Amino acid sequence: MQPDMEPDMELDIDEIIKKLSVVQEGDLKLYTYSPDDFSDGGSMLTKSMPVFYNPIQELNRSITLIAYKAYQEEHMANHPEVPLKILDSMAASGIRSLRLTLFLTKPHEIFANDLSPLALSLIRKNMELNSISTQIETTNKDCNLLMSEWGTSHRFSHIIDLDPFGTPNYFIPNAVRSVSNGGLLGVTATDTPVLFGVRPSACLRKYNVTALRSSFCKEVGLRILLHYIAKQAHPWMRYIEPVMALSFDHYVRVFVRIRKGKEGITSNFKNFGYILWCPHCDWRDSIHLNIFDANSQCPLCHSKVKFGGPLWIGKLHENDFVLKCSEIAENCTKQTIPSKKRIVKTLNYLPHENQMPLGYFNIHKICDRLQISVSSMEKIERAIIAEGFNYSRTHIEPHAIKSNIDIPSLSRILHALTKE
């Protein structure tokens, strides 16, 4: 149970659903409380919603459908006789499990679990509403207990989905042990101020690392979460392979393959390190594990550098997996995947950003610092490539780029473009 969570009261679900509205997300109809009654005034919802449903998270759910279908295709090729087993460990209204049921190839075994009895009753009503009463098993347990029981009794799940309100940190140790060897773990974290370095002491407490509030902090946040998942897997003789790591609006979402084996654990360590960043001139670098090998002075402007870590400094995506996701997304209708356009665009960026050095350059922030106007992204791209550097956009921020360019050359190019 999340530490500050209240147990639900005994409630009559038939009376309750009379007061709920029915919304549509993708191909699914859903009984839900009205998010407007529980918003903080912006796009964030408060925990007071009796059963959680955030329409903004449609993107999270839709990309999850695509990632799990890509995984299912691999799974069916390798184990055609074994139905894919998925645990939606924190199902709330059941929307994720229900959309998965409609989307994935059958047969599959989906378990929708939530600690809240009210959520469970609502999941069952939502199953009835969509005439899929028998295709999902529902459970009403603390998912830490459930995953630990499954791990202990070797009833592994091919996919486990963690979608908490806030940090996922205390669910990860049990999740990594109860995914099957080669299985997939999907994790949401909405505690972005912690991961992005706005609350460094909370980051130390929750993820045991030094946060870094840098100009590319959203990528740093992904790397902190991946490092944490890997560290929790190691005691179980397991290691991680990130297949897709995404940062959207107010949350991050990572998909990692979990495998067993000592060699893999050792190779995970090759992907652990620190990021160094100069707050004065935006210089950045990464180093493998020994922070004492790092310079404490920026080699360009001699200011004191900041560091973050230990964190994941390896690749964030697996290109073959991303390409499979792109194919699936292209073939979906907008009806089934409402945010298809944004997903296709995101997936197109990933293989390119994956080839680039760590970090990104936020063009607006650099131009602000240089006190110059911002040129178009197309002009910037042409100028960088013309000088022989590589270039990619990033899904993380619309006005950011990834490149092997150094910051003095980038500043010079941005200056020159303003004079054209």
Q: Which residues bind ligand SAM (CB under 6 A)?
A: 1-2, 5, 52-53, 57, 61, 90-93, 95-96, 113-116, 119, 142-144, 163-165
Q: Does 300 interact with Zn ion (rule: CB under 5 A)?
A: yes
Supply the minimum distance, in Å, between the C-beta of residue 118 and ligand SAM.
9
Instruction: List the single partner that 206 binds among ligand SAM, Zn ion, none, CB under 5 to 8 Å by kind.
Output: none
The residue among 89 and 362 lying less far from ligand SAM, judged by its C-beta, is 89
Helix axes 58-78, 95-103, angle to 10 degrees: 50
Looking from the CA of 66 toward its CB, the CA atoms found within 13 Å total: 30
Part in contact with Zn ion (CB under 5 A); list of ranges 68-76, 245-253, 281-289, 387-395: 281-289
- Give the nearest residue (CB) to ligand SAM: 90
Q: Does 276 interact with Zn ion (rule: CB under 5 A)?
A: no
Given 287, 289, 301, 372, the residue binding Zn ion (CB under 5 A): 301
Q: Write the single-letter amino acid at 14.
A: D
Part in contact with Zn ion (CB under 5 A); list of ranges 91-99, 211-219, 263-271, 300-308: 300-308
DSSP letter for each residue of 262-284: HHHHHHHHHTEEEEEE-TTT--E
Supply the minimum distance, in Å, between the C-beta of residue 4 and ligand SAM.
10
Supply the minimum distance, in Å, between the C-beta of residue 145 and ligand SAM.
8
Q: Does 281 interact with Zn ion (rule: CB under 5 A)?
A: yes
Give the Cα-Cα-Cα angle 137, 142, 148 (nearest 5 degrees). Answer: 90
Instruction: List the single partner that 278 binds among Zn ion, ligand SAM, none, CB under 5 to 8 Å by kind.
Output: Zn ion
Give the Cα-Cα-Cα angle 241, 254, 401 (nearest 5 degrees). Answer: 95
- In terms of DSSP bridges, do strands 284-288 and 272-277 run parallel, antiparallel, or are they unpaired? antiparallel
Nearest of 90, 95, 89 to residue 65 by alpha carbon: 95
Part in contact with Zn ion (CB under 5 A); list of ranges 283-291, 309-317, 323-331, 388-396: 283-291
Show the DSSP H helices in 278-373 as ranges: 319-330, 340-354, 363-370
The residue among 136 and 380 lying less far from ligand SAM, judged by its C-beta, is 136
Q: Does 407 interact with Zn ion (rule: CB under 5 A)?
A: no
Q: Is the dihedral of CA 363, 368, 370, 376 positive or negative?
A: positive
The residue among 93 and 210 lying less far from ligand SAM, judged by its C-beta, is 93
Instruction: List the single partner that 280 binds among Zn ion, ligand SAM, none, CB under 5 to 8 Å by kind.
Output: Zn ion
**Residue 187 burial (10 A CB sphere; 0-12, 13-18, 19+):** buried
Q: Does 29 interact with Zn ion (rule: CB under 5 A)?
A: no
Instruction: List the single partner that 142 binds among Zn ion, ligand SAM, none, CB under 5 to 8 Å by kind.
Output: ligand SAM
Supply the minimum distance, in Å, between the C-beta of residue 163 and ligand SAM.
4
Nearest of 11, 36, 7 to residue 21 by alpha carbon: 36
The residue among 352 and 369 lying less far from Zn ion, judged by its C-beta, is 369
Show the DSSP H helices in 208-304 as ranges: 217-233, 262-270
Given 150, 156, 165, 283, the residue binding Zn ion (CB under 5 A): 283
284 with 200: CB under 8 angstroms? Answer: no
Nearest of 399, 408, 404 to residue 385 by alpha carbon: 404
- In terms of DSSP bridges, do strands 179-189 and 400-403 run parallel, antiparallel, or are they unpaired? unpaired
Supply the minimum distance, in Å, between the C-beta of residue 89 and ligand SAM.
6
Instruction: List the single partner that 2 binds among Zn ion, ligand SAM, none, CB under 5 to 8 Å by kind.
Output: ligand SAM
In the chain, the N- to C-terminal Cα span, in Å, equals 59
Rounded CA Rg of the chain: 22
Instruction: List the single partner that 281 binds among ligand SAM, Zn ion, none, CB under 5 to 8 Å by kind.
Output: Zn ion
Binding residue count for Zn ion, defined by CB under 5 A = 8
The residue among 370 and 385 lying less far from Zn ion, judged by its C-beta, is 370
- Interface residues toward Zn ion, by CB under 5 A: 278, 280-281, 283, 298, 300-301, 303
